[in-house]
A and B are shown apart, each in its own frame.
Chain A
Amino acid sequence: MPSLLLTIFILQLTIHLINTVGATAIDELLWTLYNTLPTRTRSAVQDSKTLRAEVVRLRKEMTATSSQDEFAKWAKLRRGHDKAVAKYDDNANALKTHRQTFTRITTTLRYLGTNGLRLLLQFYFAKTPLFWIPTGWVPNYAAFLLAFPRAPRGSVSVQVWGIACATVVQMVFAAGAAAWVLLMRGREEGVGMGKQGRRKEEEGVAMGGGGEGKKEI
C-alpha cells in the first residue's frame, strides 16, 4: 500500500517542520493571514494600527509643545492623547480575547491534523502489514520487533514505519544543518584567512588534548 507509506512519511515530515519552525510562529503567521481576509477582526486590527499611529503622533506633538508657554494647546493635546490611549487599550483588549479564541482553535486543529491523525492511522491500520520482508532477511526476534505491536509476523507495522520515517527526517535535517554550517564556515575561512586560521589551529590543539584525555580513560 504505497499511498499509506507515503502518507505516513509526509505526516512525519509535517510534524518535524512544525516543531522546527515553532507553533507560535505559525500561529502568528496564521493570525496575520486571517486578518487580511475580510473577517470581523480585520477592522479592529486596522483601527488598532491607526490608533497607535495617532498616539505616537500626539506624543511627538506634545513633546514638541512647551507646556509652560502654550499650556492650553498642550493640555488639549494631552486630553486627546489620553482619550486615544484609552481607546487603544480598549481595542487591544477586545482584540486579545479574539486572538486567544483564534489561537485555541488553530492549536486544536493543528493537533488533530498532525498527532491526532498519526494516532488515528496507527490505531486504524494496526493490523495491516505495510510491506513484507523476504523470509530469512532478519532473525526471528527482529521480525517480531518490526511487526510490533499487532501486524502479522514477517511484515513491517505502521508504528515501526512511522518511527523510521521520523528518524530519517530528523537525520536528514540534522545532516542538512551540519552541511550548511560547514559550507558557511568554509566560505568565511575563504574570506578571512589570517585570524581564522590561527584560531582553527588553537582549536585543533585543544581538541587533540581532549582526545588524548579520553583515550587514557
Chain B
Amino acid sequence: MSAAVDADSDNLEPSLQSIISQKSLRWIFVGGKGGVGKTTTSCSLAIQLAKVRKSVLLISTDPAHNLSDAFSQKFGKEARLIDGFTNLSAMEIDPNGSIQDLLKEGGEGAEQAMQEMGGIGSMMQDLAFSIPGVDEAMSFAEVLKQVKSLSYELIIFDTAPTGHTLRFLQFPTVMEKALAKLSQLSTQFGPMLNSVIGARGGLPGGQQLDEVLAKMESLRETIGEVNTQFKNADMTTFVCVCIPEFLSLYETERMIQELTSYEIDTHAIVVNQLLFPKKSNDCEQCNARRKMQKKYLEQIEELYDEFNVVKMPLLVEEVRGKEKLESFSEMLVHPYQPPE
C-alpha cells in the first residue's frame, strides 16, 4: 500500500499548475480557517489566472473584507478593475445581507407592497423566510444573477472562514428546496390568496401574484443551473488553505469531508506560513516551530495523497500590494526552493 501511496505523491506536483491550466473551470473557491492566508492565496491565484484567461473576477464573501486591504484599493458591491490589470476585477459582497436590504433593492414597490398588504404580507414573509438560511440564500442568488450577467470567464471566491464557507456553498441546495416548497404552496393556495388579494385589486404596486411567482420560478432555474455547475468537477473546484497546525488541519479535514458530501470537487491544498530556517542558525524558537510544522506536513502528505499540496513559505514582510502579490503568486506555480 505504501508503495502505491508513494507513487501517487510522486505523480502529483506540489503546485497549482493543474488548476491554472484547466481551461474548463468557471468557479474557484478558496477557503480555510481564519487567518491562514485565504485572501493572499486567492489574490495570487487570481493574478496567475489572469495571465492565461480573458477575464477574471475576484469576489470576497468575507464580511471582514480584505481585498481592499490586499490591493490597497477600495472595492465595493460593483465589480471594479484592479489597478495595473486589464482583465482582473474585484468586488466585495456581504453574505449577511438581510431580506430588508433585498426588498429595498427591489425598489419602493416591493417594500410598499409588503407594508400595504399588512397582516397577509408579513405572514407571507414570515412563512417564506422561516426556512433557515433563505435570506442569505436570496442575497447570494442576487449576486449570482449579477455575476452571470457580467459574463466573466472565471470567478474566484475568496470565502469567509470555514463555517461561513460551507453554509455559503449549501445555499443553492437550500434555496432550491425553499423555492420548490414555495411554488408548491403557491399552486395550492394561489387561488385562495388571489381571491383575498383580488378583492382589493391585486398587489399594490400594480403587480399580480402570478408575476411574482413567475419571477421566483426563474430565480429557481438560475439557482438550479448554478447548483449543477458547482457539482461539476470540470467547472468548479475548491482550494483549501491551511497552516501546519493542529486546529487548522482539523478544520481542513472537516471541510474536505463536507465538500465531498456536497459533491464539490477539491484536489488542492495550500499549506501556508511554512518556516524554512537556515540549517546553520541558532534560533531555538524557529527550530522548534520548524520541527512541529514538519510533523504536521508529514501528516498532511500521508493523509492527502490524492491532492496537490502546495507549500508556501512564511515571508518576512506582509504580502500587500500588486508587486508583492505577484512575486508571491509565482510560488504557487513554481515550488519554493528553501535555502540550504
Write the nearest CB–CB distance from A54 to chain B, whole angstroms: 18
Question: Contacts of A79 on B, CB cut-off 8 Å?
Answer: 257
Asked whether A72 is an interface residue with its Cβ less than 8 Å from the other chain, the reply is yes
Q: Which residue of B lies closest to A86 (CB)?
A: B261
Question: Contacts of B59 on A, CB cut-off 8 Å?
Answer: none
Question: Contacts of B246 on A, CB cut-off 8 Å?
Answer: 67-68, 71
A68 to B249, alpha carbons, bound, how many Å? 10
Do A67 and B299 have beta carbons less than 8 Å apart? no
Question: Contacts of B295 on A, CB cut-off 8 Å?
Answer: 69
Write the nearest CB–CB distance from A117 to chain B, whole angstroms: 46
Write the nearest CB–CB distance from B247 to chain A, whole angstroms: 10
Asked whether A177 is an interface residue with its Cβ less than 8 Å from the other chain, the reply is no
Q: Mark B287-306, 1 if CB is under 8 A from A, else 0.
A: 00000000110111011000
Do B249 and A82 have beta carbons less than 8 Å apart? no
Asked whether B262 is an interface residue with its Cβ less than 8 Å from the other chain, the reply is no
Do A70 and B299 have beta carbons less than 8 Å apart? yes
Asked whether A168 is an interface residue with its Cβ less than 8 Å from the other chain, the reply is no
**B303: contacting residue among A68, A69, A75, A82, CB under 8 A:** A75
**B257: contacting residue among A69, A71, A82, CB under 8 A:** A82
Asked whether A76 is an interface residue with its Cβ less than 8 Å from the other chain, the reply is yes
Question: Contacts of A78 on B, CB cut-off 8 Å?
Answer: 253
- If over half of B's interface residues share one DSSP class (helix, strand or loop), that class is named, otherwise mixed; here it is helix
Asked whether B250 is an interface residue with its Cβ less than 8 Å from the other chain, the reply is yes
Question: Contacts of A69 on B, CB cut-off 8 Å?
Answer: 295
Q: Mark A45-83, 1 if CB is under 8 A from B, else 0.
A: 000000000000000000000011111100110110010
Q: Which residue of B lies closest to A68 (CB)?
A: B246
Q: Mark B118-153, 1 if CB is under 8 A from A, else 0.
A: 000000000000000000000000000000000000
A82 to B261, alpha carbons, bound, how many Å? 11
Write the nearest CB–CB distance from A168 to chain B, whole angstroms: 59
A75 to B300, alpha carbons, bound, how many Å? 10
Do B250 and A67 have beta carbons less than 8 Å apart? yes
Write the nearest CB–CB distance from B219 to chain A, whole angstroms: 32
Question: Contacts of B298 on A, CB cut-off 8 Å?
Answer: 72
- Within B234-281, the residues touching A (CB, 8 Å) are 246, 249-250, 253, 257
7 contacts between A and B (CB under 8 A): A68-B246, A70-B299, A71-B246, A71-B250, A72-B299, A72-B303, A75-B303
Interchain residue pairs A-B with the least CB separation, the first 6: A72-B302, A72-B303, A71-B299, A72-B299, A75-B253, A68-B246
